[in-house]
Amino acid sequence: MKVSPSDTTIAARLAAVRATIAATCARVDRPPESVTLIAVSKTHPPAALLEAIACDQVNFGENRVEEAIDKIPVVMAQTSVPLTWHMIGHVQSRKAEAVVQQFSVIHSVDSLKIAERYSRFATEQGKMLTILLEVNVSGESSKDGFAAAHWENSESQKSLWSDIRRIIDLPGLQVGGLMTIAPIVETLEQVRPVFSAVRRLRDALAVDFPQANWSMLSMGMTDDYTIAIEEGATFVRIGRAIFGSRS
Ligand SMILES: *Cc1c(COP(=O)(O)O)cnc(C)c1O
């Protein structure tokens, strides 16, 4: 999707994104409320978030811990609206405690080790955190996430399934589903098989681990969110189409 020119307001861009989400849902016979829009506010100042909040935006995504722990309290001090903060970026172990303090949904759980850290701090802080498992189904080596390119092969499935079994049993965490970042592609349609593979993996996990909730699929960004919705996304994470390009 094309990013609107920089002279368009955040309100106008947000309205356009919401309209596109609704139109896409209508086209594939999904209720519009089955897709939650996360405004990805990384690199943007509190004033930009407050503009979006004034348009009833309550879900925000940040990907860098340092930036988020400075920004979140500033934004929260300037609004009485309850907001939901989504961590969408890779987190180093030593920053897990700060993430548990500030965020209520973590989309980027990419190892058993980081899940164990979150569990420990969530338990200490008396919190229940919703986590999504980030999966890499395209096999790109530059990507974070559980290696899941060959999950249908029983050998590679074994180690993935064993990590997931242990994560599901961790206290303080509630698995909600899967998250993925699509690879860079030449033509947009090339991301469709990636999103549908994530959905099929989710369906397989729901059969093998019925004790957990697998309803959430976090996939789709500015360039590819309509395809992600067509393939079953329940969270779309959108930055540039709302806030403009990042410097
Ligand atoms: C930055 C980011 C987004 C948003 O990307 P846009 O292309 O600006 O919509 C979504 N997900 C993750 C994990 C990101 O880091």
Report pLDDT digits (tens) over 185-197. Answer: 899 999 999 999 9
Backbone angles phi, psi at 204, to 5 degrees: -65, -40
Q: What percent of the chain has pLDDT over 70?
A: 97
Protein residue whose Cα sits closest to atom 8 of ligand 1: 239
Whether the per-residue pLDDT at 232 is higher than 60: the answer is yes
State in Å: Cα 70 to ligand 1 middle.
Answer: 19
Q: Check: CB of residue 238 under 8 Å from CB of residue 17.
A: yes
pLDDT band at 2 (very low <50, low <70, confident <90, very high): low
Q: Residue of the nearest CA to atom 11 in ligand 1?
A: 237
Report d(CA 23, CA 246) in Å as an integer: 27
pLDDT, tens only, 30-41? 999 999 999 999
Distance CA 15, CA 19 (A): 6
Mean pLDDT (whole number) for 125-140? 96
| 206/213 Cα distance (integer angstroms) | 7
Phi, psi angle pair for 240, to nearest 5°? -60, -40
Compute, in angstroms, the gap from residue 218 CA to the centroid of ligand 1.
Answer: 11
- Residue 247 has a pLDDT of 81
> Does ligand 1 have an atom closer than 6 angstroms to the CB of 181?
yes
Instruction: Look up tokens 């890499």; give the residue.
Output: 136
For residue 23, give the amino acid letter: A
The pTM assigned to this predicted structure is: 0.95
222 lines ligand 1 (CB under 6 A): yes
Look at residue 156 in the predicted model and tell me its pLDDT: 86
